[in-house]
Structure 1
Amino acid sequence: MSLTLFRQELRAHGLLWLIFAGVMALYGGMIVSMFDPKLGESLAAMAESMPQIFAAFNMTDPGTNLVEFLSNYLYGFLFVVLPMVALLILAVGLVAGRVDKGSMAYLLASPHTRIGIAYTQACVLLVFTLAFCIWAFGLCTVVSEGLFPGQLDLERFALLNTGLLGLHVFFGGLAFLCSCVFNETRIAAGVSAGLCVLFVLIQMLSQVGDTLDWLRFVTPLTLFDTDGLLAGDAGAIGRFCVLYGWGASMYFLGAFAFSKRDLPL
């Protein structure tokens, strides 16, 4: 692993993280401030008038307390999609982007091995992944305590964010694998983004009605069971551990593939 490259990549991509963190702060702060049991009744009435749309975004139930409200209105879609897009951009730029632009040749000319460079880039992506999830947890906690002191169940909320981290480790691992396998940025971005968007769309369709309920078995997003995590279900915890395992496997597989293949440099 190259600490010099690690620090350089953190500085180079820090602005991208700040932009997406800012968008998360905007939507997160707005959603938290909307919490109100009376407003929940209004949202429930709206969900009844447009059930399929609300179901697709997992917003049919506003919940009875603050942590359930945040789970349904932030962790059901927004905090899944926003970091996912950022991680796709980062992953593609860290490996395939450097190969495509030719700057990877300079890195390979250094004393560091291919596998060392790949692990460095993987660590950069993992740091940004962790930073997004810590930001989501800290942001909602601070705003919630400021507006609704003592109403956020921190233990259940922390477990929810641990599951969110597992989901984004999976997304990051998939994007990193594609970035290591394909030489061209457009192909790596197309395959990784296409698969991630497909998973999200399948999840949305599976929530629309009973006829499409079976689709939940063909998307990894089902393993991020927000309701189960808030209930403390051991099965839900085991399922998000699978996401960690799949994500880690794809990181290692991507690094191995990068170390063995021919590069057009």
Structure 2
Amino acid sequence: MSIPLLKTELKSSGKIILLFLGIITLYAGIITAMFDPELGTGINALAESMPQFFAVFGMENPGITLLDFLNNYLYGFILVLIPFIYILIMCYKLVAKYMDKGSMAYLLNTHYSRTQIIVTQFMVLLIGLLILLLYATGFIFCVSEVMFEGELEVSKFLLLNAGLFLLEFFLACLCFMFACFFDELKFSVGFGAGLGLLFFLAQMLSQVDEKVEFLKYVTPLTLFMPEGLVEYESHSFMGLGVLLAGAAVFLAVGIMRFRKRDLLL
């Protein structure tokens, strides 16, 4: 790994990270503050009256505890989508932009190997992703303790965030692999963005209509099962294991492809 390159890329990514921290602060703060134990029954009744609308965003079972509320209103959609958008932007910035402009060869014109360079770029992506998710975890915890002291089941909440990280790690490795494969932006970024969009649409549709429920088997998003995780269900942990294994494969394939490919000048 190249430490000078790591420092340079992290510094240049600072504004992007701060932007996404602001977005997380806005959404997480507002939604966490909206929790009201007495309102839980009313929300459940509303969800029963409009099941398809709530199901689109994975909120068909809001629950009445703070953890249930966060689980459905943040971890069912919003905190999955926001880091994914960050991943797409960073895959463009760290790999695809260099490939598209033909400047990756100049970056490699150092004493560092191809493997060291591409691993460094991935570490920049991973560090930024960790910052976002650790911040989200800490911020939601602090807001919860200030406004609803003792309501949050901390151990389950931390497990939920660990599961979210593995899902985002999987998506990061997938998008990073495509960025390593192609020179043109429409392919290097487009494949990751397109597949991500299909994953989200498939998950939404599978939750809305039983006739297309089979679509949940074509999206890896369903391997992240928040409700199952907080209940310590074994199949939820198996799903995370599949995500981790898939991420390792995608990352290895991407690195091997980058090592062997011809680079434009």
**Does the CA-based 8 Å contact 1:177-1:250 persist in structure 2?**
yes
Alignment root-mean-square deviation, CA? 1.1
TM-score normalised by the chain length of structure 2: 0.97
Which residue of the partner structure matches residue 18 of structure 1? Answer: 18
Higher mean C-alpha displacement, 139-148 vs 34-43:
34-43
Inter-partner Cα distance in structure 2 for 1:137 and 1:230:
15
How do residues 22-101 of structure 1 correspond to structure 2 at under 5 angstroms?
22-101=22-101
Which residue of the partner structure matches residue 220 of structure 2? Answer: 220
3-state SS of the aligned residue for 2:13?
helix
Letter aligned with residue 245 of structure 1: A
Which residue of the partner structure matches residue 136 of structure 1? Answer: 136
Inter-partner Cα distance in structure 1 for 2:199 and 2:35:
29
Which residue of the partner structure matches residue 110 of structure 1? Answer: 110
Aligned-pair CA distance for 1:136:
1.6
- Structure 1 unpaired stretches of 5+: none
**Does the CA-based 8 Å contact 1:96-1:183 persist in structure 2?**
yes
- Structure 2 unpaired stretches of 5+: none
3-state SS of the aligned residue for 1:195?
helix
Aligned-pair CA distance for 1:239:
1.0
Inter-partner Cα distance in structure 2 for 1:105 and 1:257:
15
Question: Matched residues, percent identical?
Answer: 45
Which residue of the partner structure matches residue 254 of structure 1? Answer: 254
Inter-partner Cα distance in structure 1 for 2:102 and 2:42:
55
Higher mean C-alpha displacement, 41-50 vs 156-165:
41-50
Inter-partner Cα distance in structure 2 for 1:50 and 1:65:
21
Inter-partner Cα distance in structure 2 for 1:49 and 1:42:
11
Letter aligned with residue 87 of structure 1: I
Inter-partner Cα distance in structure 1 for 2:254 and 2:214:
31
**Does the CA-based 8 Å contact 1:68-1:230 persist in structure 2?**
no
Which residue of the partner structure matches residue 122 of structure 1? Answer: 122
Inter-partner Cα distance in structure 2 for 1:24 and 1:260:
38
Letter aligned with residue 224 of structure 1: F
Q: Give the count of matched residue pairs.
A: 265
Aligned-pair CA distance for 1:37:
2.0
Inter-partner Cα distance in structure 2 for 1:186 and 1:47:
39
